[in-house]
A and B are shown apart, each in its own frame.
Chain A
Amino acid sequence: MSAFWSRAQRHVGFLIGATLVLLVALMALVSLFWTPHPYDDLRMALKLKPPDGTWLLGTDHRGRDVLSRIMVGAQTSITVGLIAVSIGMALGVGLGAWAAARRGWLDEVVSRLNDLVFAFPAVLMAILITSVFGASATNAILAIGIFNIPVFARVTRGAALMMWGRDFVRAASALGLGPLTITVRHVLPNIASVLLVQATIQFATAILAEAGLSYLGLGAQPPVPSWGRMLYDAQTYLYDAPGLAIYPGLAIALTVLGLNMMGDGLRDLLDPRLRLMRVG
């Protein structure tokens, strides 16, 4: 572990990425108990104010403080991303590991599922779900989470198959250990780094997807602030308050950039030979 940290300190990309991610996480954490102004106070008299000493990033079309809303919006993005990736990991890793251990028809089913997801982009899946069950943060999480299942299944299967070919796994098998025990004791611990890297990158993808869905009004519903919806609202006021269309987008881009750089950095640091498919 100490070797990891000493290498990490020299990896510029990882450091920049990790710093960005920490800053966003800190912003979300602070916003839980403090924001410069209450994020949902309507002050119509103060609408579309340019940034100044009191309103550091100005106010929106309803006189709400933009900085406070961006801070609280970080909570939304992080929550949606975390839960969606956890759903994808919990089911996908299990499915992938099972497919690798059993092969045969199950393996075939997992591969077909992957094909389906490639042909069936996440936004379409989310649209299907929200058009039936209504627009809400929960349904956005579900939609993004479901899309993540095959991604993790694919990565886990690939990495686990390699492990099943290794001597120490064969030895365990020869000793009479069952596929479940081998998977839990030998396969999963050895592919944990691959999964960690993929999780970081999927987190970034999930935040982008959440932003897109809430831009379309299919994500978190008012009064909960979300970066994507802030951009949608800002579009009506491009002439009067162009800043409104810049800050929330910058927040999304920097968060995603941080996660991507951190993910790439982790990949270099944990296993230089590793290459991952990026699935949007």
Chain B
Amino acid sequence: MLDFLLRRLAAALLTLALASIVVFLVLEVLPGDPALVMLGTEARPDTLAALHAKLGLDRPLLERYVSWVGGLLSFDLGNSYAYGTPVSKLILDRVVVTLPLGALALSFSACVAIPLGVFAASRRGRMSDWLVMGFGQVGISIPNFWFGILLALFLAVTLKLFPAGGFPGWGTDPLGSLHALILPALSLSLPEIAILSRVTRSSMLDTLREDYVRTARAKGVAERDVLMRHALRNALIPIVTIAGLIAGFLLAGAIIVETVFYLPGVGKLVFDSISNRDLIVIKNVVILLTALVLLVNLLVDMVYVILDPRPKVSV
């Protein structure tokens, strides 16, 4: 078991290392001169030279890469070009919006999708099953940011139940802040609910065919208990795996949805950094998001071990 987790950890670290090389190549090598990208083509030569020195672009490639990775490990990410403040502070200030948003969206997804999938599986082939599957098909086809705009249009602009955007801040108004995250979290979770409910349904259908389920039924266990205790618990393994993958898509989706709802999160920081050509911020945010996704998937592997005493090593 420990062996399995160590292997997964090694694979995750390898992936992270690969990702850091890709990010470094794309942002620092491919453009030729990152300082020129940041300043624009009409930059004055002396400003360009100053930025060169500041970014350490006069140093050899390998040295630059190593010093970046070293900085990442000690969370010293350098200063933002546009804001002049440390990148680590910029990110920390915004993580308090994005992480709760992602967690809320993931809980919405699980709370709606798993019961929906179990329900559909228990009514296989009937009208209600067909409806749930149809909802799944529609759910993955709607762009989450459009769903967000629709929610803002009906629940915020027309019915005035929620704010259409903005974020008061946890310190000033904790309840209002939570309130402001509900519509964005709902719009982020729509496609994930669609995917997760389909996975839950098919995983449940697989376990419902197992012998122990038939035995439980034959023993006269109530159908409800058969579904919840015997089938769902065993069906959870693929569900948890997919939920882990979804966490990654949620973070990427947050970049767009935070823009829709004017939330000052990490996604908005990325968006603003693109317009400011603030490559230092982009580079670090992208690699930290990747690390976060890998971490979530490692956690999923651990849950997987807890759920199933016989994990397969080759995944």
* A208: nearest chain-B partner, CB-CB: B143
Kindly state whether residue B112 has any CB partner on chain A within 8 Å.
no
Partner of B15, one of A115, A124, A216: A115
Partner of A246, one of B150, B270, B273: B150
List of A residues within 8 angstroms of B274 by Cβ? 127, 130-131, 216, 218
Q: Mark A128-156, 1 if CB is under 8 A from B, else 0.
A: 11111100000000000000000000000
Partner of A249, one of B150, B252, B297: B150
Q: Are B146 and A261 in contact (CB under 8 A)?
A: no
**Segment from A37-45, A54-62, A66-74, A237-245 that makes contact with B:** A237-245
Kindly state whether residue B303 has any CB partner on chain A within 8 Å.
no
Q: Are B141 and A121 in contact (CB under 8 A)?
A: no
- The binding surface of chain A is classed by DSSP as helix
Q: Are A212 and B282 in contact (CB under 8 A)?
A: no
**Segment from B20-28, B118-126, B173-181, B229-237 that makes contact with A:** B20-28
In the assembled complex, the Cα of A116 lies from the Cα of B31 at a distance in Å of 22
* A212: nearest chain-B partner, CB-CB: B256
Partner of B252, one of A121, A246, A264: A121
Q: Are A132 and B27 in contact (CB under 8 A)?
A: yes
**Segment from B57-65, B75-83, B286-294 that makes contact with A:** B286-294
In the assembled complex, the Cα of A195 lies from the Cα of B153 at a distance in Å of 40
Partner of A119, one of B271, B279, B297: B297
Kindly state whether residue A48 has any CB partner on chain B within 8 Å.
no
Kindly state whether residue A32 has any CB partner on chain B within 8 Å.
no
> Interface extent on A, as a size class?
35 or more
In the assembled complex, the Cα of A132 lies from the Cα of B36 at a distance in Å of 10
Q: Are B252 and A132 in contact (CB under 8 A)?
A: no
Q: Mark B144-166, 1 if CB is under 8 A from A, else 0.
A: 01100110110001000000100
Kindly state whether residue A7 has any CB partner on chain B within 8 Å.
no
In the assembled complex, the Cα of A272 lies from the Cα of B149 at a distance in Å of 38
Q: Nearest Cβ distance between residue A245 and chain B, in whole angstroms?
A: 5
**Segment from B45-53, B89-97, B217-225, B243-251 that makes contact with A:** B243-251
Partner of A260, one of B140, B152, B286: B140
List of B residues within 8 angstroms of A128 by Cβ? 23, 26-27, 282, 286
Q: Mark A227-266, 1 if CB is under 8 A from B, else 0.
A: 0100100110011001001100100111011001100100
Q: Are A252 and B149 in contact (CB under 8 A)?
A: no
Q: Nearest Cβ distance between residue A45 and chain B, in whole angstroms?
A: 26
Of residues 191 to 249 in B, which have CB atoms within 8 Å of A's CB atoms? 191, 195, 245, 248-249
Q: Are A234 and B149 in contact (CB under 8 A)?
A: yes
Kindly state whether residue B137 has any CB partner on chain A within 8 Å.
yes
In the assembled complex, the Cα of A132 lies from the Cα of B138 at a distance in Å of 35
Kindly state whether residue B30 has any CB partner on chain A within 8 Å.
yes
Q: Are B22 and A249 in contact (CB under 8 A)?
A: no
Q: Mark B272-315, 1 if CB is under 8 A from A, else 0.
A: 01100101001000100110011001000000000000000000
* B259: nearest chain-A partner, CB-CB: A216
Kindly state whether residue B69 has any CB partner on chain A within 8 Å.
no
8 nearest CB pairs, A to B: A121-B252, A249-B146, A257-B141, A256-B141, A123-B252, A132-B31, A115-B15, A253-B142
